[in-house]
C-alpha cells in the first residue's frame, strides 16, 4: 500500500518555464559540446596523410642475393605506411605515426638455450657477421594482402652456426622488444606481449629464412621492425617477427603469439596455403598492394620448390 503524504509544494514553487527550458538547453549544449570536442580531436585524422616514421640510413656494400623474384617491387611509401605492428597501435597507419621515436640504439640480441656458445650480439656485430644481401621476396599477410619487398640481410643460419646449436635443439623461439613505456598503445592491442614467434630448427636453418636489417637499400624504418627482424617468405607475415631481442634454441615447440590468441585461426606453422582457409576469410586469393584485382595465392607463397620438402608426409590441413 502506498501512503500518500500531502505535498507541501504550492504552485509558486514550480520552476519557471524559462529556467526549466534553460536546463534542457544546458543539457543539449553539453551534449553538443562533447560531440564537437570529440569530433574535433579526430578531425585532423580525416585530412592527415600517413606518418613518416623514423629516418633510415643508407646501407653500403649490399650485394644481390639469391632467390630474388623479378616481380614489380611495391612502392616503399606503401610498405612504410601500411603496417601491422600492434605494439604501436592496431590501425595500419598507426605504426608509422607512433614508432617515430622508438629507440633502436643501443640494441642487443641475446642468443640462448640449447647452444654451445650462447652470447649477446650488438647491432654492430649483427651488421658485420656476413656480407649484406638484397633479397627481393614476396610477403603475404594472413589478412590476404601482399607486397614485394627488397629486404637487406643474410640467412639466419649464418648466425645460428656461430652459436652452435646442440643436438637437443629442435626449435627456435624468437621474442620481440616490448617496452610499455615506449609502446603505450600495446596494452589495447588485444594480444599478449611481448610478441613471440617460433620455427622448427630445419625451417630456421633454411637459406630462405632471412635475418633482416634493412629494406630498399637502407636500414629498417621503425614501423617495419627496426633494427633487426626475421623474414620468412613462405609463411604468413605474422611469422616474420619484428624488432628482435631474444633468440632461444629449444627442445619443444615454443608458444607463438597469434596461436595463443586464437589456436583455431593461426597455427604454429602458418605456411602460406591457398587451400586452407582462415576460418573467417578465404586464403585462395590476395590483393597485391597497388593492384586492383585480386591475384591467386601460390602454395608456400611461390617458394614451394625451395621449401615443400620440409613438410613431406605432413598433413598441412591439420598442421596449418
Q: Using CB under 8 A as the criterion, which residues of the chain lie in contact with other proteins when the complex forms? A: 21, 24-25, 27-28, 46-47, 49-50, 74-75, 77-79, 81-82, 86, 90, 92-93, 143, 145, 188-191, 261, 280-282, 287, 289-290, 292-294
CA 142, 143, 147, 152: dihedral to nearest 10 degrees?
A: -40
> To the nearest 5 percent, what fractions of the chain are helix, strand and coil?
30, 25, 50
**How far apart are CB 279 and other proteins at their closest, in Å?**
9
Nearer to other proteins, 191 or 304 (CB): 191
Which grid cell is 280?
Answer: 573467417
**How far apart are CB 266 and other proteins at their closest, in Å?**
9
Alpha-helix residue ranges (DSSP H) falling in 180-264: 201-205, 257-261
Nearer to other proteins, 19 or 293 (CB): 293
Nearer to other proteins, 10 or 188 (CB): 188
Cell 626475421 maps to which residue?
Answer: 230
Taking residue 30's Cβ as centre, other Cβ atoms within 10 Å add up to 10
Nearer to other proteins, 88 or 107 (CB): 88
Nearer to other proteins, 303 or 320 (CB): 320
Nearest Cα to 145, choosing from 295, 298, 285, 286? Answer: 286
Phi-psi region of 296 (alpha: psi -120 to 50; beta: other; left: phi over 0): beta
**How far apart are CB 301 and other proteins at their closest, in Å?**
18
| Integer Cα distance of 289 and 71 in angstroms | 13
Nearest Cα to 51, choosing from 85, 4, 22? Answer: 85
**How far apart are CB 136 and other proteins at their closest, in Å?**
18
**How far apart are CB 225 and other proteins at their closest, in Å?**
17
Q: Helix (H, G, I), strand (E, B), or coil: what is residue 296? A: strand
**How far apart are CB 117 and other proteins at their closest, in Å?**
37
**How far apart are CB 164 and other proteins at their closest, in Å?**
37
Nearer to other proteins, 170 or 294 (CB): 294
Nearer to other proteins, 155 or 259 (CB): 259
Task: Spell 45-57 as b/e; 16+ CB within 10 A means b.
Answer: eeeeebbebbebe
**Residue 119 phi, psi dihedral angles, 5° rounding:** -165, 165
Amino acid at each position: 500500500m502506498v501512503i500518500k503524504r500531502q505535498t507541501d509544494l504550492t504552485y509558486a514553487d514550480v520552476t519557471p518555464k524559462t529556467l526549466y527550458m534553460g536546463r534542457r538547453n544546458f543539457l543539449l549544449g553539453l551534449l553538443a559540446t562533447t560531440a564537437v570536442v570529440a569530433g574535433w580531436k579526430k578531425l585532423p585524422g580525416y585530412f592527415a596523410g600517413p606518418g613518416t616514421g623514423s629516418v633510415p640510413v643508407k646501407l653500403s656494400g649490399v650485394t644481390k642475393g639469391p632467390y630474388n623474384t623479378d616481380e614489380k617491387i611495391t612502392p616503399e611509401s606503401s610498405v612504410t605506411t601500411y603496417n601491422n605492428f600492434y605494439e604501436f597501435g592496431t590501425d595500419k597507419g598507426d605504426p608509422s605515426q607512433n614508432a617515430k621515436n622508438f629507440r633502436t640504439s643501443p640494441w642487443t640480441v641475446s642468443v640462448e638455450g640449447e647452444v654451445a656458445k650462447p652470447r649477446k650480439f650488438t647491432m654492430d656485430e649483427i651488421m658485420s657477421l656476413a656480407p649484406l644481401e638484397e633479397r627481393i621476396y614476396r610477403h603475404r599477410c594472413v589478412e590476404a594482402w601482399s607486397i614485394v619487398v627488397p629486404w637487406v640481410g643474410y640467412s639466419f643460419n649464418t648466425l645460428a652456426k656461430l652459436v652452435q646449436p646442440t643436438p637437443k635443439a629442435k626449435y627456435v623461439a624468437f621474442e620481440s622488444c616490448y617496452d610499455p613505456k615506449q609502446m603505450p598503445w600495446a596494452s589495447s592491442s588485444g594480444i599478449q606481449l611481448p610478441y613471440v614467434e617460433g620455427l622448427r630448427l630445419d625451417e630456421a636453418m633454411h637459406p630462405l629464412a632471412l635475418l633482416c636489417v634493412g629494406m630498399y637499400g637502407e636500414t629498417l624504418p621503425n614501423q617495419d621492425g627496426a633494427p633487426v627482424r626475421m623474414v620468412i617468405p613462405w609463411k604468413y607475415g605474422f611469422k616474420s617477427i619484428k624488432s628482435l631481442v631474444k633468440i632461444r634454441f629449444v627442445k619443444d615447440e615454443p608458444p607463438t603469439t597469434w596461436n595463443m590468441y586464437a589456436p583455431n585461426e593461426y597455427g604454429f606453422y602458418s605456411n602460406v596455403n591457398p587451400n586452407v582457409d582462415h576460418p573467417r576469410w578465404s586464403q585462395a586469393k590476395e590483393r597485391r598492394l597497388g593492384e586492383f584485382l585480386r591475384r591467386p595465392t601460390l602454395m608456400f607463397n611461390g617458394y614451394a620448390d625451395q621449401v615443400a620438402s620440409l613438410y613431406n608426409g605432413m598433413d598441412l590441413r591439420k598442421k596449418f
